[in-house]
Structure 1
Amino acid sequence: MTENEAQIEKEIVDKGLTAARITPGEIDDTILTEQYHVFPGTTLTVCALTLKNGFHVVGESACASPDNFDREIGRKIARDNARNQIWKLEGYRLRSALAEAASYEELIAKPADQ
């Protein structure tokens, strides 16, 4: 969890926002493995995260000046970019589940003669 995410989480909790949502911890829990590759002769770093369900997300970083290239910084940025992809996927999954639950509630609330 990033420092910014921790601050946002605290604000959410402090405001008592208790509806279904995705947390940074849940995002981290979806990650099974991570792999990195720096393309030879470049500053392009790619991070591939394998999620627990077998899906893969990819993030990248590239340094404009080769003189400033640092392998560890490149890995951190590429991983953050890959991890950010998971938010969209998990948000979509949760929204679909909520919509499905709402449709089910509407269906069982209708009188049998309709």
Structure 2
Amino acid sequence: MEIMEPFGKCTIVAVKLQNGFIITESNVCLDPESYNKELGIQICVERIKNRIWELESYKQQSLLAE
């Protein structure tokens, strides 16, 4: 997992899956004073997990349709 923090109020998380596919997510707050890195990472990771489930569901549905 790679984590970037551009502009002091944005969190970007990139995850490389076992098959080499890369998923990225970002989270931005309006005020740099209220920026929380750990919360940003937590939100991004949860979004990535949801995207993986969505991709896996698509894969399974495609296999069933064949």
Task: Work out the number of aligned pairs and report it.
Answer: 66
Q: Contact 2:8/2:35 (CA < 8 Å) preserved in 1?
A: no
TM-score, length of structure 1 as denominator length: 0.53
Uncovered stretches (5+) of structure 2, i.e. residues with no partner:
none
Q: What is the aligned partner in structure 1 of residue 60 from structure 2?
A: 94
Higher relative contact order structure (alpha carbons within 8 Å, sequence separation ≥ 6) = 2
TM-score, length of structure 2 as denominator length: 0.86
Q: Contact 1:47/1:78 (CA < 8 Å) preserved in 2?
A: yes
State which of 36, 39, 54 in structure 2 corresponds to 1:70: 36
Higher strand share: 2
Q: Contact 1:45/1:62 (CA < 8 Å) preserved in 2?
A: yes
After the TM superposition, which residues 1-114 of structure 1 pair with which residues of structure 2 at under 5 Å, given as runs? 34-39=1-6, 41-100=7-66
CA-based RMSD of the aligned residues comes to: 1.2
Uncovered stretches (5+) of structure 1, i.e. residues with no partner:
1-33, 101-114
Give 1:45's aligned amino acid: T
Q: Contact 1:60/1:79 (CA < 8 Å) preserved in 2?
A: no
Runs of 4+ in 1 over 3 A off after TM superposition: none
- Identical counterparts, % of pairs: 32
Give 1:37's aligned amino acid: M
Give 2:14's aligned amino acid: A
